[in-house]
Structure 1
Amino acid sequence: MSDEPAARIAEFIEPLRVAPGTRVDLGRDFDPGYRAGLRKREAEELLRTGVALLAEYQQRLAAQDTYGVLLCLQALDAGGKDGTIRHVMSGVNPQGVRVSSFKVPSDEELAHDYLWRYTRRLPERGEIAIFNRSHYEEVLVVRVHPENLVRQKLPGEARGPDVWERRYREINEWERHLTDSGFKVVKIFLNLSKEEQRTRFLKRIDLPEKNWKFSAADVRERRHWDEYQRAFSAMLSATSTAWAPWYVVPADRKWFARICTAAVLAHTLMDIDPRYPEVSEEARRDLLAARRELEREAPSGAPADPYAARHVRARDGRGAGPEPPDGGGHGGPAEGGKHGRPRRHGKRRGRG
């Protein structure tokens, strides 16, 4: 992990992390309006820096082909999951990212154990997989609406009062297995206030171009707000582990939620610190032979190696010249960006 940018990112996201073993009361411990003293104008530059870091590290992750990353996004309706994915992943190679959205389970999915449909969507090595809603639906929606346990065709003894504690244990063990196998699990809860959700619902009703995003079921689910808050608090308390901690991201300001999500994901990739593979001496000899053959094919008057010629000019202060149409430059993203010193986010202190 590179020292200075990594340290700033780690400091920035620390107030969002749920320490393993912590007993969480969501309404008391985390403020949906927290913004670490940042203004929206500062945030735009920070997000660009974060996206650039993600692009660089995702390329390394794919090249190394050893680790994979699973990003789990949970939120109530209108929490901003779709927009967060769109903005945070805007700079990465789409071939290395797969997004899965989990709706009401199908008959085929209900015929298997509750983790089956999520297992089928796990990342490959070198890939980032994003779960838009995740296996945590099984201890959130199913807990608030326990009639769903009947639809899952569980035997009677599996629907007893210990079902949630058992599922927490099973999920923790599953995530430990994934982590031990080289698949990092990143878990983000977008924490939206009840008033901000009401405002976003009304916007979806008021603007014709957003009507399609609204469903009457959203308002029906909102009636269970307090039950969901208790379910989220219990989930965060039971499943934030040393190998797969939860991050509670304030979501009342979309721009801040996007910065936080980019920072948490960048922190994970920088912690992996994937490297480009080193070629063997035999492969290097093959490269040099191929280079000599290609240089011999240069047209009359053209440099034998246009790429090398441009960089010699740049080194000598004569300018690198224009890049070829394929953009074959080697400039990487700038690291850093002033995250500043974040305030502790644990106790509620107003809307920041």
Structure 2
Amino acid sequence: MYLLIALSKNIQTVIIARFIQGSFGSTWATMVGGTIADLWTPHERGLPMAIFSAAALGGTGIGPIVAGWIEINPRLEWRWIQWIQMILCGAYSLLVPLIMRETRSSILLARLAKKIRKKTGNHRYRARIEDEKTSLRTLVWISCTRPIHLLLTEPVVSSFSLWIGFLWGVMFCMIESIPGLFQSLHHFNIGQEGTVFASMLVGTGLGFASNFYQEHLYHKHFARRGPEARLILACAAAVMLPIAMFIYSWCSVPYVPWVSLAIAITIYIWATFIVYLAVFSYLADCYGPFASSALAGQSLCRNMMATIFPLFTKRMFAALGYNWANTMFALIASVMVPIPFVLFFYGPAIRLRSKFSRMIAERHK
């Protein structure tokens, strides 16, 4: 798809290629949480989840920095953004078969049983999954429908998906607003506009550093709070988010230094990182082998918001102005502040009403 975009002659080709690219690329994002849940126990997976979150959010900041200076170079321009990405992804694709291994416990047990049968000649060694074989059609149907089922029927997945989906949509609106704000108010060129995204890297770094404190709190309070101990810093982040948006909205004037906007972006990304990490870690803890499906459901909601929000961003900013448009986002974020608090205090009772998370809780007793 990078090749198709790089060689495209019109915007329609770019849109179609980007759609296909996003459809295939989303698979990787939904699999990471489940894979980490397979490899590490709940008490060990804090750092791996933080590394993944840093890559997801930090990459969003690195891309515009590099792309801005590539585009401003007259010998490269925007097509070389695609060529460079194609080279990097091509190299990575060659490494995937060498470094990726199966992690799902049921599949590994089936392979182990097969190996023992071959070694001993005793066919009574069988994994449960071997006796529950289903058709490829059924597996595809389950893979496609279970995330949506969890998203619509599980209150924990629904509430977190709504929250992180809104934050993701606002983040992309913020990304969309940066060129207009910094160009019209502070007269930045394309390269300088791209460099503003370094504030996202700073916010990601602060979020990554905060995770070590969150891990300390998690181990300290897990015995009493259970998986809800993952949400302690998320409660603080819920308050930070509207504060960051209010700063961003009311510093969007020519006579306020541009660094105030960069600070607001940093705080917003810092808080978003904390929430993003809490969502992945908490859902992985609550849903165990169904973690990939739960995370796929929230990823669907999150990426739909990221798609929808930029569609109305320019018109919204033109109609309301940067101040009032971002103030509206800040007010909505203020309404969502109670979400992590409700789950922190009432999460166990909510999970007991859930078929999937109750099954995992009973398995770990």
Higher relative contact order, structure no. (Cα contacts within 8 Å, ≥ 6 residues apart): 1
The structure with more strand, counted as a fraction of residues:
1
**TM-score band w.r.t. shorter chain:** under 0.3
Greater CA radius of gyration, 1 or 2? 1
